[in-house]
Amino acid sequence: MGRLPIRFDGQLITFREPYEFSADISVAAGDSVQFPDKTFLEATSKPFEIHRVIPRLTAFFTVTSVLTIMEPQPSILSRLIRFRMQDLSKNEPNTKTTTLLDTVVKDNEQTWEWEEPYTIVRGEQFQVSIDAAASFGFTPFSTLISALSPIPTIDSIRVELTFQGYHIVVGPPLETR
């Protein structure tokens, strides 16, 4: 976590309440999807001070027509997903182009930490689109082993994004509460 501001919009920040919003979407190999409008909309009366984005990826494969979670999860999932994020209210991109998820997350924590908090207020929102690699069909073992024992390939990846930070309470200090 970076430096915490003491003022917002000229008013003293009196305290912070932990807050997050999240959503998930599934993407198949070679597809591009966008989270529906207003998925990442700040709809509360308090400004939301975002400190990090937490992406979680879950691989699925099909077994006899049933979509099943792959166990153990492949460690390369973040190298298969690209994303693009834009703050619609400020008309500012948060990523210049679609960016490989692996390049923005910390290896040890798997989070995208923001050095400085990014604040959005009621009615402001992010638009996030996801692009998947052309093929998820990889095998972590040699061709000989996979010929002896077929290893399933990934059919889709669920992308879960959580914006985590604090609701900030601003205003002049009150004598009574």
Q: Mean pLDDT over residues 147-166, rounded?
A: 78
For 68-121, write each residue's pLDDT tens digit: 777 767 778 888 899 999 999 888 888 888 889 988 988 777 899 988 899 999
Q: Name residue, tokens 């979407």.
A: 25
pLDDT exceeds 60 at position 162: yes
State the DSSP code for 143: H
Non-local (6+) Cβ contacts of 48 within 8 A are: 19, 21, 42, 119, 120, 121, 163, 165, 166, 167, 168
Model pTM score: 0.80
Q: What is the pLDDT of residue 139?
A: 43
Q: Integer distance in angstroms from the first to the last C-alpha of the chain?
A: 30
Residue range 23-60, pLDDT digits in tens? 999 998 889 999 999 999 999 999 999 999 999 998 88
- Spatial distance between the Cα atoms of 126 and 40, rounded to a whole number of angstroms: 5
